[in-house]
Structure 1
Amino acid sequence: MPAVETQSIMRAVAILDCFSADQPELGVREIARQLHLSTSTVGRLLITLRSAGILSQDPTTRRYVMGPKILQWSSIYLSRLDLANEAAPALAELHRLTSETVSVYMLDRGERVCIARIESPERVRVVVRVGERMPLHAGSAGKALLAFMPSEALAQILGKPLERMTPNTIVNRKTLTQELETVRKCGYAISHGERFQDALGLAAPIFNADGKVIAALNVAGPVMRFDDAAVAKYAPKIIRLANQVSQALGYVSSPE
């Protein structure tokens, strides 16, 4: 990125930092004085921020306030924060039960992103990072999300090339579609080394108050410890824990 563009971005961030609970409204000169910049420079940046919806301007006083885009961004952040908080007890219990790496993945723009995790204390373990983004077709958490997505959104994702992450990644659409049907029937997804080779993953979906799948609760470990017998043992437990998180978010399951 050119140095001029970087400087403009940093100055725009500095302008936003001028606003606070004590100073919710600011004029061009006030901001220029705080940042030791010319009023013309600040004015140009304010116009750009206003056109993007990041700031709004009072037509009478000509002073600036935070705009609707800030609310949109904050709602995204808060939704993740709420989900992570509500999922924390279930995450801790799943970790206590399995002693493997457990995580919560949130659906985000056609991918899944890790928003919370507790790593296994074992030396050999599956390692994931908070903030790490992964494709939906590879891994148990991704399949738990895909299986319960609206058909239109699912078709859009399956219409794109499916990247092979490991030799076991399912990249055939027909095979993956059949796998997702199995996930819907049993309520959980399994991955045999589809995202991390020599690892087995188990995941169950989390729904919001509108009944939409928004996240997945996941546990994964090396196959030498976490095998098909572990899946049979922990599948009912991960479904129960994921349901607890869904209910905490306001989800009410439909009667069977």
Structure 2
Amino acid sequence: MDKTGRVQSVDRVVQILKCFTEKRPELKLTEIADELGLNKSTVHGLINTLKYHGLIDQDEDTQRYRLGIYLMRLGDLVASSIDIIGIARPFIVYLCNQVEETVHLGRLDDLEVIYIDKVESTQSMRISSARGARNPAYCTGVGKAMLAYLDEKKLNQILPEKWEGFTPTTITEKQKLLKELEKVKESGFAFDFEEKDIGLTCVAAPIFDYAGKANYAISVSGPSIRMTDEKIELTKVLLKKATMEISQKIGYRG
């Protein structure tokens, strides 16, 4: 144990696990040893211990190492223990106070959005909604903010070719929506310009978790007459800051 109270062997185990990245999901023993500046016998002993506990796997043919299945269980435990509503609440309250419009925290459930929290505007003309309410994801800003980051193959599987239109501006065709979602990924923001309800405009941005998935998003919604270009630009700045801070609090490192 050093002066900081850290145990050297545990430090080395953590360093071994951190060697694996998206770009380098599999590594040879020599690659790990060289990266950490340790001799192969030391690294081999630590890796064998990690293998025993399911934290490291080894390909029998290539002899390369990769992260173990048990880490997925630990990741699921972390994800289930995160109180996204509690973490996001101060941010959506602040957003509501700054823009004076209704703010929602949404979760994606297949092709629907579930509103899991909200803070309503105090203005006399405002958007009224209920926690637990659902809306189609394809015609809401908060829904599109999450759909855009789904795996492309999965998105193509779950989207029908056509669907119901609620207003004249609702996107009702798969290919048009896919193009719209590409724009969302490019800009980081999703919009609903009266696509679900006439007179309602919405700006939304995704929240990313530790795995880089956008399972949650925040939207700011208000009467179109009040959602001017100036207010939309202010909302985008505040939304980007809020969603990034929330993402970091739940483990996002992008």
TM-score by length of 2: 0.66
CA contact (8 A) 1:135 1:142 kept: yes
Distance in 1, matches of 2:157 and 2:137, equals 12
1:143 and 1:131 mapped to 2: Cα distance? 18
Q: Structure 1 residues 229, 157: closer, same or farther in 2, change over 3 A? A: farther
Aligned to 2:208: 207
Can you list the C-alpha shifts for 1:121-163, whole angstroms capped at 9, x where unaligned?
1111112210011111011111101111111221123235422
Residues 132 and 79 of structure 1, relative CA distance in 2, 3 Å threshold: farther
CA contact (8 A) 1:101 1:126 kept: yes
Q: What count of residue pairs does the alignment treat as equivalent?
A: 178
- 8 Å CA contact 1:103–1:219 kept in 2: the answer is yes
Which amino acid counterpart does residue 219 of structure 2 have in structure 1? N
In structure 2, the residue matched to 1:195 is 196
Letter in 2 for 1:173: K
Contact 2:142 2:204 in 1 (8 A): yes
Q: Secondary structure at the match of 1:221?
A: strand
Residue in 2 that maps onto 1:114: 115
Instruction: Provide the secondary structure at the position in 2 that maps to 1:190.
Output: strand
Match of 1:94 in 2: 95
Alpha-carbon distance in structure 2 between the residues aligned to 1:160 and 1:214? 23
Instruction: Look up the match of 1:104.
Output: 105
Match of residue 225 from structure 1: 226
SS of the residue corresponding to residue 131 of structure 2 reads coil
Q: What is the Cα deviation at residue 230 of structure 1?
A: 1.4
Distance 1:90 1:217 in 2: 10
1:103–1:195 Cα change, 3 Å: same
Distance in 2 of aligned mates of 1:217 and 1:158? 22
* Structure 2 unaligned regions, length at least 5: 1-75
Distance in 2, matches of 1:218 and 1:141, equals: 5
Matched residues in 2 for 1:202 and 1:80: separation?
29
d(CA) in 2 for partners of 1:79, 1:97: 31
Deviation of 1:236 (Å) = 1.9
Are the aligned partners of 1:84 and 1:116 in contact in 2 as well (CA < 8 Å)?
A: yes
Task: Give the match for residue 126 of structure 1.
Answer: 127
CA change 1:99–1:79 in 2 (3 A) is farther
Percent identity over paired residues:
32
Asked if the contact 1:80–1:115 (Cα under 8 Å) also holds between the matched residues in 2, the reply is: no
What SS does structure 2 have at the residue aligned with 1:213? coil
Give the Cα–Cα distance (whole angstroms) in 2 for the partners of residues 145 and 193 of structure 1. Answer: 19
Would the aligned equivalents of 1:205 and 1:213 in 2 still touch at CA under 8 Å? yes
| Local SS of the residue matching 1:137 | helix
How far, CA to CA, are the matches of 1:223 and 1:198 in structure 2? Answer: 5
Determine the C-alpha separation between the residues in 2 that align with 1:184 and 1:158. 18
CA contact (8 A) 1:200 1:227 kept: no
